[in-house]
Every structure is written in structure tokens, then in C-alpha cells.
Amino acid sequence: MNAIKTRKVLVVEDSRLIHKMYEVMLRPCMLIAAHDGREGLARLAEHPDVDVIILDINMPHMTGLEFLGEVKQTPDFAAIPVVIVSTEGKEEDVARGLKAGAVAYLKKPFQREDLLKIIGRLTTDRTAPQRR
Amino acid sequence: MEDIFSALVKDFVDETQPIALEVGAQVLKLEEAWGVGEDGKALLRSLRSGLHTIKGNAAMMGLSPVAQVAHVLEDVCARAAEVEPEDRPALVQALLEGGDLLVMLIRSAPAGSLDAGRADEFVARTAVSIEAARAAGASAGLAQMPTETGAAGVVTSAPSDGERGSARIADGDVDELLELAGEAIVGQTELLRVHARLLRGEFEAGDMEVMDRVLTGLGRTTREMRDRLLRVRLAPIATLFGRYGRYVRDLARERGQPIELCIEGGGTAVDRAIIRRLSEPLVHVVRNAVAHGIETAEERAAAGKPVKARILLGAGLREGRVQVTIADDGRGLDMQAIVAKAKAEGIDTSRYGEQDLQRLIFHAGFSTAKTVTELAGRGVGLDVVAGVVQGLGGRIDVRSTSGQGTVFTLDLPVTVSLQKALVFGVDSETFAVPTGFILDTVESREKDLQEINRVLLLSWRDDFVRATDAGRLLGCQGLAEAWARPYAIVLQAGNKRGALLVDWLSGVQEIVVKPLDAALLGCRMLSGATVLAQGKVVPILDCVEVVRRVNRTLQPERSGETKAEVVYDVF
Amino acid sequence: MSSEERNAEAMAVVAAGKAETLLAFADALVAQGQRGQTQAPAEVRQYVAFFLGETEYAIPILQCREIVRLTTVTRVPEAPAPVRGVVSLRGHIMPAVDTRLCLGLPGAPPTPRSRLLVVEVTGRLFGFIVDRVARIIKLSVPAIESSAEGTAPLGVTGAVRVGDGTVLLMDADLLLHARLGAVAPNTRGEEA
């Protein structure tokens, strides 16, 4: 668990409550919060060194898929792994997200361990030499 | 999760309560919008979005009663777009009640005293009325008939089998149809009243009776409407006979022998669909008569018969059914051959009268053609003819007198209901799907399928659609799995889609839909059955129910599965 | 195979194209057997007797429309337990009911001698699958009435001694209503 405290995570999610939850779950990590796709892109521009993006695929306004499309088309951000978070009944969205370039998915409600496991597998320790 | 819960429950209430409170206000705005004739789609979208957030938040907090209520309200909103104006008040009612319930439940979250019972009751009650509305919507389809009447009362009949055209309908019939439609609407209104009461939880003693009476009446009314409209499809049977006339003349010329064709009752009106269906098989009866029935000129002269043979095609109405006769004055059936064949089949022919023995020709394998000539036809025996006739709900009989001739008699209904369907097979069973629900049929390879959260998805047209193994869904006793099925049928019913994974597809055929006995009402995935030309019985799928189930079916649980799934090949 | 069985089987072959009522057939049999008898019979009811395993059952001839060979039974998903599927008889589709399951007996696979008893109940046709059709029997009314007794599976209305064996009397109407519920008229649609 020590290893992930140095990760930088962008969370794109419209619910403030869920943001608070991520804060609690990912405590040692540095969390960047965005509440919709547009804000997500803005935050990414400010923090292009984000290790992983956690994306709620079911957001209104700029949808998760649209945001994902933009990210994957922007060379500076395209390599950042994206984890999709969805609710039950939206499996087609998950498939679309995976097709658009996301590398993993989580279904709400999920456990802290699952989230940590995924982030751990997708990212490296910041203090270790960069492998990208 | 315990500490997370208590730390965050206040935030949960702060964030989710305002959304729940908004539900009521939004529903009232929706009602207003509908009132002025707007479709309210934007409002519905906003409502659904809010409910979705409530559901997600509540799920994360482990507050499943809240999540379930939000979920069922989402379903109600989903139906709202397609529902009839008369049903909207009931919908509004459900949403308002649900919204209030959500507020109450969320408020009680911090104290941990959620009224799960009340939530369950509301969910169950609302789910039931969604089901009922869905079922009513499915059968109300019958009541929606396009009746664009012009000045002379001409109605354009639904194009069938590429045979686009118009049909004439008498003004009197139009009036009667409108009256029947009116009756149907009155019945439906009565049902709505009872339904609205049930939604509020008030059930009166007379309600069952009302529903019984109205449903029986509705059934009768809609059937009558359909019957009257089917009659619009009538055409004189002469169109069928006319084709045979030319055929007989050609055959006669080929044989170098004069054959006279007499037609009686050509004006008898028969369903176009029946004419279409019978056209091909009956040719073989006529062909049989010319090829085997009629003797050579010499034989006829020797027997003292007029050289010119006669074939009669006749039709008439009797007791509301159509009688078709195909007769010839030739040599009659070869009884010796029939008896020999019967004996070979192990039948004790001494017990049967002549006529019963003659009827044996309708069994497969009883064709008594000794020589296969150009005229004798290819592969269509009288058993197939009998099968087609019976499949249409009719009967066929034969009477022959040695040396004098043969008479085939067909007894047919005046109208029949045909539908186009795709026949498919899975494991060793066969089913039919009405083409109206089919979006596409595609090949399904392993790479086209993926499983996410136990939901099977098929890649289709650049997108994804939920899929299910047809064998598993229909309870077939096979061992194959979804990935092994080579084909997929993509269906759409209402606004839902679903794909069935199957083993083989047959072409589209016209089938006669036969109802299943009331004892089989529990077979919700079926809408009836049909008998194919070869005599095979094939159940017909009810696509509305099938698509619904496809959207609810989860793949079997695999051991050691976590809720998270990592799918990547990075690094 | 007894001559009665062969006759019943012959019926199956001829069934296509017309509906020969069992009444006429039975009358012919009875006439055959009674040739020479001058005594007028007492009031008698005729029953079609069939076997399920080693037990002989009989249903009133008036309920039975036809006996046919058991052709393919098409399975129907989610059918109630006693219904094995549907069969087509000259284009008409009806449920094929496993008589054994209806009576609470264990099921058994069909044999070449299995038959379908086509029964008509309130205008609906059902096919009862039986192991083999035995014969037509005549029972006097007093014998029938005195047989109703005690505990019997639903649908069995009595037991009668015939010859040196016992025949259980069955009522198809009762049995169907008990096992398949659905007392309502055919509301799904009309007959094609």
C-alpha cells in the first residue's frame, strides 16, 4: 500500500459525495478532482503528469465517452491509463469505453481493495525510475 | 466501509436530498409540459439523470432500499416516453409518490432507520403496474390500425410480401370497424379506472369482475376487428384457377392430346394469402391429374369415353368455408398400386373401405407414379399438399372411381392470418421469430463477444448489443456455449434491443400463426406456434418478452470473480 | 399384439383426411362381437381402456375423439410440468400431456406402442400420452356408480373389476382442470 501513495489520480465524476469517497479510499494519493468532462480536460492540461484517470462513464453534459475520445486524441494525454466506473445496466457503455481506449472497468458499488488493486497494476511508483 | 459510511452519510444527505426534493417539482413541470402538448423528453432526461445519481450514491453507501426505489422510478421514466396520454396520470402519480418516498428514506439514513418494508412495497407495486402497462401496450397494438379513408372509402391495405396495392372496403364495413374500435376504447377506459385505483392500493370487490368482463369483451372486439380487416384481403379464386388454365393448355399440347378445362365458381372470394400459399402445391395436383390421371386418346376411345378429357376446377362457399374441387374424368387412382404399397407398409388393408385406402395417397411415400416423366413433377408429393392445406387450417380429401376419374376436394377457411418469420435452430430445436422484430442477422465469432460484469455483449454495427445464448434462454438441453454459436439474431422490441445466439438460420417464410392453448399461457416467451410445410411444429417467440429477458440475463457466475476487472495489454 | 390393439393402430393410419369418431369404430367392434346375441344390453357406457405401466385405465368414449400414433412432440419452453410439449394433428396444434405425470406417477420414455389419446374438453383439444391402448370396454351404469370411493389421485373417479383385473376410471375433464388450472376459455385468440 505504501507504493501507491505517490500516485497522482484524476477523478472525473459528477457526484461530490463520490469524490469524497475516493478521497477516503485513495488517501495517500494526490487526487485531482473534476466534475464533468470539460473540467476534466482543463485539469488534465494543468496536470499532464497524471498517472491514471478514473472516469465515471455515466455523466450528463460532456459524457464520459466524449471526454475519453478527447483524451485519446490528444497526444500528450493519450498514454494515460483510464479506468471506467459504471453502474449496473450500463454494460454497453463499458464496452464502448473499452473500445475507445479505456483499459479497465469497475462496477459501482466497488470495494476499496479492488480500486487499489487496479491502480497498482496500471501505474508505477512515482519515485521509481520512469518506464514510459 | 463502516467508518466511510458514518463519515460520509452527512455528505450523502447533503448531496442527494436536494436531488430527491427536485423530483417532485420536475414531475409537476413534466405534467405541465404534457398538458400543453410537448413531449417532455428533456424533462424526462433530467429526471432520469437525477434518479441515476441517487441510485449510484445510495448504492455506494450501501443503502439498497433507496437505490431500488430510484431504480424503479428510472424504469417508470423509461416507459414515460412511449406511454399513451391516457396512462400519463398514473405515471405522474407513481413518480410523485416515489419522489416523496426517496426524500423520506434519505432523511432517515443518518439515524440508520430506513423503512425497507415500505420501500419494498412501493417497488413491487410499481414494478407490477409497469408490467401491466407493458403487456397492455403489446396487445393494444391491435387497436392501432391505419384507417386512412378516402372519399370512396378506399383503405390502403398493409403491404404484404411485396404485393403493394390497395383494396376496396365498403363504407358500411368502415363504420362497423369504427364502432368496434370505439367499443375497445370504452373497455380500455374502464380498465384504466380500475388500474388507477389499484395503483393507490384500493381494491374493490367488483374489480375482478370488471376486469374479467372487459378483457373478454376486448378479446372479442379485437378479434372481430381483425376478421373484418382480413376480409379486405379477399380476391376471387379465379386468379388461382386462371394460372392453371394456361398450365393445362401447355401440358395438353405437350401430350398432343386435347384436354378441356372447365372452371366453376371462379368468383368465390378467398384470402389473397391463401391463394398465394396454395398456388404452388395445387399445381402438383393438377399436374398429377394430367400426367397420370388422363389416359391416352386410344385408351379413352377403347373405354368409350370422349377423346377430349376434362378437368374441372370448381369453388364455392359452404357454411362459411370455401370448397375447392379439382376433378378429372381420367382413369382414376391405381388401387392395385395403393394396396400393394399399403401391404408393404404393414397395414391390414382388409379392414378398410375403398375410400380410406384412397386417402392413403396423402401419406409420404405413397406416390404411385410408376414412371418419373417430365410431367410428373419434382419432389412435391401429395403429402406436402396435404401439409400446406392443413397448415392453413383446411382439409383435403379424395374420391376416385376406377376408370371414371378422380376428385380432390379442399375445404378451406375464407381468411387466414399469415405472418413472415425467420426460422432458426439451436441445439436440436427449431423456433420462429416474426420478422417485424428483427434488426439484423449476423455471423457471430468468438471475437465478437465479450463479457462485462456477467453481461454478454455482441459487437454489432460499430456498437454493442446485449446477447444471450438462445439455447440457455429457451431451456434447450444442449452443451454448447454462447461462444460456440455461429449466428446472432439482433432483435428490437420497443426501445430495447437484444441478440440471440443460435446455431443456424433458415430463410424467411410465411407462416400461419396458431394460438397455443390457454394451458400454456405461462409460456411467456412464446406468442403461438406454427406448422411448417413438412409438418414440423415450431414455437413462435414473443419478442417483447425475449428481448426483455435478454436484457436481464446474466452469464453464469464464475468462481473467484471480483467486482473489478482489468482488461489491458499495456506495457 | 391383440386384434383390438391392431385395430386401434390401424385407426392411426387412416386418421388423416377425416375424423372417424371412435363411437362408430366402437360400434363396429361391438357389432362384430355381438353377432348372434339377441339379448338387448342393459344401459351401458363405453370406455377406451389404456395402460400406464401395468395398470389399466379407462376414459369415457365420449371424451375421446381419436387415437393416433405418437408423432414428434415439440417441446415448449416453460410449459407446466405435465405438458411434454405440443403436437400437430392435421395442422391443429394441441398440448401433449404426459398422463403419468398428471396422475402423479413417475414418467417413462415413450415406446413404439405409445399412443396419443385425443381428448376434447370444453371445446379444447388435448393429447394424452399413454403407454398403449388396450381395448374398448363396456361398463354397466350400476358398476360405474358403485366404483367411486375413497382416496384416489385427482382425476380418477373409480375402480371397476373387469374380467380378472381392475380398471381405474379416469375423467379427462377433471384431470385437466386439476392439473393444468386454466379453466378460462381460450382467450389467446381464435382457432386458426
Q: What is the pLDDT of residue B559?
A: 60
Report strand pairing: A52-56 vs A8-12.
parallel
Q: What is the CATH number of domain B235-413?
A: 3.30.565.10
B2-141 falls under which CATH superfamily? HPT domain (1.20.120.160)
Residue to test with chain B: of C9, C93, C98, most B Cβ within 10 A: C93
Do residues B461 and B541 make contact, with C-beta atoms less than 8 angstroms apart? no
Beta strands in B272-402 (DSSP E): 309-318, 321-328, 395-401
pLDDT band at B497 (very low <50, low <70, confident <90, very high): very high
Which range, B56-60, B158-162, B387-391, C157-161, is most confident? B56-60
Q: Do chains B and C touch (3 or more CB pairs under 8 A)?
A: yes
> How far apart, in whole angstroms, are the C-alpha atoms of residue C163 and residue C160?
10
List CB contacts (< 8 A) between A94 and chain B: 452-453
Which CATH architecture does the domain made up of B418-550 adopt? Beta Barrel (2.40)
d(CA A6, CA B100): 45
Query: Which of C88, C125, C189 shows the shortest C-beta gap to B531?
Result: C88
Span A80-116, pLDDT tens digits: 999 999 887 788 889 999 999 999 998 888 888 888 8
User: Which B residues in the span 407-426 are in contact with C, Cβ-Cβ below 8 Å?
Assistant: 413, 416-417
Q: How confident is the model at residue B470 (pLDDT cuts 50, 70, 90)?
A: very high
Asked if residue B200 has pLDDT above 60, the reply is yes
B524 at C interface, C-beta within 8 A:
yes
Q: What's the confidence (pLDDT) of residue B473? A: 95
pLDDT at B82: 73
> Min CA distance, C191 vs chain B (Å)?
7
Assess contact for B60 and A109: CB atoms under 8 A: yes
pLDDT of C186 above 50: no
Q: B392 with B413: CB under 8 angstroms?
A: yes
Residue type at B549 in one-letter notation: R
* B116 touches A: beta carbon within 8 Å: no
pLDDT of residue C20: 39
CB-based contact B466 A91, cutoff 8 Å = yes
Share of chain B above pLDDT 90, in %: 22
For the beta sheet containing B487-493, the strands, ordered from the edge strand earlier in sequence to the opposite edge, are B438-443, B487-493, B496-502, B463-469, B455-460, B449-452
**Predicted ipTM of the assembly:** 0.77
Q: How far apart are alpha carbons C93 and C143 in whole angstroms?
A: 36
Q: Would you call B520 and C95 a contact, using CB atoms and an 8 Å cutoff?
A: yes
Q: What are B164-181's pLDDT values in tens digits? A: 445 667 777 788 888 888
Q: Distance, in angstroms, between B241 CA and closest chain C CA?
A: 23
Question: pLDDT, tens digit, for every residue of C43-57?
Answer: 788 889 999 988 899
B57 and chain A: CB distance < 8 Å anywhere? Answer: yes
* Residue of chain C nearest B475, judged by CA positions: C77
Interface test with A, best of B16, B54, B60, B458 (most A CBs within 10 A): B60
pLDDT for the residue numbered A80: 93
Domains and CATH numbers, chain C: 3-32+42-180 (2.40.50.180)
Least confidently predicted of B250-264, B401-415, B455-469, C77-91: B250-264
* pLDDT tens profile B361-379: 887 666 655 433 333 444 4
What pLDDT band is residue B421 in, cutting at 50, 70 and 90? very high
pLDDT in tens, C69-96: 888 899 999 999 899 999 998 888 999 9
Question: What ranges do the domains of chain B cover?
Answer: 2-141, 166-232, 235-413, 418-550
Lookup: cell for C79: 410449459
Which of B393, B397, B523 has its CB closest to that of C17?
B397
Give the residue from C74, C118, C177 with the most B CB atoms within 10 Å of its CB, the best one to mutate. Answer: C74
Distance from CA of B535 to the nearest CA of C (A): 8
Q: How far B455 CA lies from chain A's nearest CA (Å)?
A: 7
Q: Which of B54, B464, B555 to mutate to test the interface with A (most CBs of A within 10 A)?
A: B464
Lowest mean pLDDT across A93-97, B227-231, C11-15, C80-84: C11-15
- B-chain residues near A96 (CB < 8 A): 463-464
Give 3-state DSSP helix, strand, coil % of chain A, rounded to 5. 40, 20, 40
Smallest CA–CA distance, residue C62 to chain B, in Å, is: 21
Cell of B482: 454462447
Q: What is the pLDDT of residues A15-63, one digit of tens each?
A: 888 899 898 888 888 999 999 888 999 999 999 999 999 999 887 666 7
Residues of C in contact with B526 (CB under 8 A): 76-78
Q: Which chains touch B (3 or more CB pairs under 8 A)?
A: A, C
Residue of A nearest to B47 (CA): A60
Q: Would you call B465 an interface residue with chain A, using a CB distance cutoff of 8 Å?
A: yes
Query: How many Cβ contacts (< 8 angstroms) between chains A and B?
Result: 106
CB spacing of A108 vs B60 below 8 angstroms: yes
**Mutation to test the B interface, candidates C14, C89, C102, C125, most B Cβ within 10 Å:** C14
Say whether B180 sits in a helix, a strand or coil.
helix
B331-354: average pLDDT: 82
Query: CA of B129: how far to CAs of B91, B206, B486, in Å?
Result: 9, 19, 38
Omega cis (within 30) before A109: yes
Query: Could you tell me how many CB contacts below 8 A there are between chain B and chain C?
Result: 138
| Cβ–Cβ under 8 Å, residues C50 and C134 | yes
> Do B465 and A92 lie within an 8 Å CB cutoff?
yes
Average pLDDT, integer, range B426-439: 93
Name the residue in chain B with its Cα closest to that of C185: B518
Q: Looking at the DSSP assignment, which residues form a beta bridge with residue A85?
A: A56, A106
- Three-state SS annotation for chain C: CCHHHHHHHHHHHHCCCCCCCHHHHHHHHHHHHHCCCCCCCCCEEEEEEEEECCEEEEEEHHHEEEEEECCCCECCCCCCCCEEEEEEECCEEEEEEEHHHHCCCCCCCCCCCCEEEEEEECCEEEEEEECEEEEEEEEEHHHHHCCCCCCCCCCEEEEEEECCEEEEEECHHHHHHHHHCCCCCCCCCCCC
State residue B460's pLDDT score: 94
Mean pLDDT of C156-184: 78
Neighbouring chains of A at 3+ CB pairs under 8 Å are B
Establish if B516 touches chain C: CB-CB under 8 angstroms.
yes
Domains of chain A, earliest start first:
2-121 (3.40.50.2300)
Across the interface, do B453 and A91 touch by the CB < 8 Å criterion? yes
Give B407 to chain C, closest Cα distance, Å: 14
Which range scores top for mean pLDDT: B404-418, B539-553, C19-33, C169-183? B539-553
Q: Do A122 and B464 touch (CB under 8 A)?
A: no
Closest to C58 (Cα-Cα) out of C143, C181, C179: C143
